[in-house]
């Protein structure tokens, strides 16, 4: 008796095949809608930055009659370069110090067995549950007593402190999944704990470190509330706080503000374009074992 041939899923009458065009629309349709929802506001901001005030008021949605760069020149004259430099100093310092401190803390938590290992790890994670706004008054008082109020140093400490819990969680989980055989081979060759950390564990943890760097960079670049509380002089303001200076008391040059917002957004956009592969790979850092 002949055995019936198995029916292909694509030829099964109860499961009609889907055309490639339908599958493509199903996959890329939502992505296109999300792109429009996220991209159109930015396009509106950029186009508005090239308009004059009269042109902007006359027709909000019209294309610029001529692309004028006077708003960008006014933004530069208004001190956006200084705000940009301050944000760059605070952001780079916060990212570097967060990576150093988090990696040094994560290595013993992930690779060393001692009695307080789990309590210390949970203590780090508990820091993520502290609301930022609860700490504003204590941090303001502390910076005053330390004599660093209205300095860029006053921002770096809180930025690091509020990112260490997430950084330690990501890096510790990633390091704990690295093969132990690599460490054993290094110890057989005479490497100490610091050499194992510096030459083996740290290079292999690049995806996790990239994730922490991305999140810390975006937070520090866009952070507003600590800058508002801990800074007062115009010369020390970061970009989010400095953008407030472009609105007058009785009038607002909206196209000028749009130009300043466009300039402030460029570093984040360029950062994503350069690090887009790291963003995708780093988002799952530590989630996959092996």
pLDDT score of 287: 47
Regarding pTM above 0.95, the answer is no
Domains, in order of start, for the chain = 97-283 (1.10.3720.10)
Contact 168, 108 (CB under 8 A): no
Contact 263, 72 (CB under 8 A): yes
pLDDT score of 25: 65
pLDDT score of 3: 52
187's tokens:
């110890």
Contact 82, 235 (CB under 8 A): yes
Contact 69, 263 (CB under 8 A): no
pLDDT score of 267: 85
pLDDT along the chain (290 residues), means of 10: 50 52 70 84 90 86 84 87 93 95 93 86 88 91 94 95 92 89 82 85 88 89 93 92 74 84 86 70 50
Contact 124, 169 (CB under 8 A): yes
Measured CA to CA, the distance from residue 251 to residue 73 in angstroms comes to 19
Q: Indicate the angle between helix axes 254-283 and 206-222, nearest 10 degrees.
A: 160
pLDDT score of 20: 54
Percent helix / strand / coil, the chain, rounded to 5: 75, 0, 25
Q: What is the chain's mean pLDDT, rounded?
A: 83
pLDDT score of 288: 47
pLDDT score of 14: 52
């Amino acid at each position: 008796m002949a055995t019936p041939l198995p029916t292909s899923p694509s030829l099964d009458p109860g499961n009609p095949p889907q055309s490639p065009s339908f599958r493509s629309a199903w996959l890329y349709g939502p992505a296109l809608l999300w792109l429009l929802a996220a991209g159109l506001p930015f396009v509106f901001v950029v186009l508005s930055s090239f308009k004059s005030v009269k042109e902007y008021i006359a027709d909000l949605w019209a294309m610029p009659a001529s692309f004028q760069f006077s708003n960008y020149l006014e933004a530069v004259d208004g001190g956006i370069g200084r705000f940009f430099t301050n944000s760059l100093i605070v952001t780079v310092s916060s990212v570097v110090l967060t990576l150093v401190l988090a990696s040094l803390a994560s290595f013993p938590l992930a690779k060393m067995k001692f009695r307080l290992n789990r309590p210390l790890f949970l203590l780090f994670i508990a820091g993520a549950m502290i609301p930022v706004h609860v700490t504003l008054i204590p941090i303001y008082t502390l910076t005053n007593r330390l004599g660093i109020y209205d300095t860029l140093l006053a921002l770096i400490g809180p930025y690091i402190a509020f990112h260490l819990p997430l950084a330690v969680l990501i890096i510790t989980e990633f390091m704990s999944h690295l093969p132990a055989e690599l460490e054993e081979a290094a110890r057989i060759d005479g490497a100490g704990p610091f050499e194992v950390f510096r030459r083996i564990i740290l290079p292999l943890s690049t995806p996790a470190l990239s994730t922490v760097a991305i999140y810390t960079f975006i937070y520090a670049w866009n952070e507003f509330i600590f800058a508002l509380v801990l800074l007062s002089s115009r010369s020390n303001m970061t970009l989010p706080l400095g953008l407030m200076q472009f609105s007058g008391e009785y009038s607002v040059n909206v196209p000028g503000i749009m130009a300043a917002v466009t300039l402030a957004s460029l570093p984040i956009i360029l950062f994503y374009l350069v690090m887009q592969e790291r963003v995708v790979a780093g988002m799952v850092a530590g989630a996959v074992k092996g």
